[in-house]
Amino acid sequence: MLADNGSVKETLEAINRMQADGVIEQYAIGGAVGATFYLEPAATLDVDVFVTLPAVEGSSLLTLSPIYDYLRAHGGTVRHEHIVVGGWPVQFLPPANDLEREAIAEAVETTVQGVSTRVMTAEHLVAIALETGRAKDNIRILQFIEQEAVNRIKLTDVLERQGLTKKWQEFERRYLEGNRG
C-alpha cells in the first residue's frame, strides 16, 4: 500500500478524472510505488504512471502534452520531467515495449484511501525490473523473491512471453544460486 499521505487520494483522483475525460486510455502504477502494493514501502521521489494514450488522427507522433496541459489546467505544476499533482511528483510514461503494454493491460484494480486505482501485477513489476537491470531493480527483484510476493509460475509465464527467460536465468545464477540452502 501507499504511505498514508492525504495528497495520494488527490493524485489518484486526478489520474482517474484524466482517464474519464479521455486524456488517457488506460493506466497502471508501476516502479517503486507500484512495488509498495506488494512489498514494504521504499523511499521514492515520484510516482511512475504508465499510460496508453488515445490515437491522434493523422499523426504517428506520441506526445504527453495533453496530459501536462490537462493537469496544469487542474492545478498541477510542472517540475522537470514530473508534474506535481496533489503534492506528489508524477512521471507519466507511455509503454516503451510489449512488456509495458501487457503490464498496463493486465494491471489489477485496488483501492487506496477510498479511490479506485490500477497497479501493475507483481510479476510484471519483476519482469520490468529485470529488463531494466539497474542495481536498485535487482534489489527490488530480490525483495519480491525473499518476501514471496510474486507467483513464480505466473512470473515464468510473463518472462517466457516477453523473451526474458535467458536474462532471468542469468539473474538466478548471479543472485539466487548461492543463497539457497
pLDDT in tens, 56-112: 777 677 889 999 999 999 999 999 889 999 889 999 999 999 999 999 999 999 999
Residue 1 lies in a domain: no
97, 135: one domain: no
Q: What is the CATH number of the domain that holds 15?
A: 3.30.460.40
Which residues does 120 contact at the CB level (< 8 Å), separation at least 6?
28, 29, 30, 34, 50, 103, 104, 106, 107, 108, 128
Closest CA to 15 of 90, 100, 104, 77: 90
Average pLDDT, stretch 156-160? 98
Query: What global pTM score does this model have?
Result: 0.92
Domain limits for position 151? 124-179
User: Which band of pLDDT confidence, cut at 50, 70 and 90, is reported for residue 45?
Assistant: confident
23, 91: one domain: yes
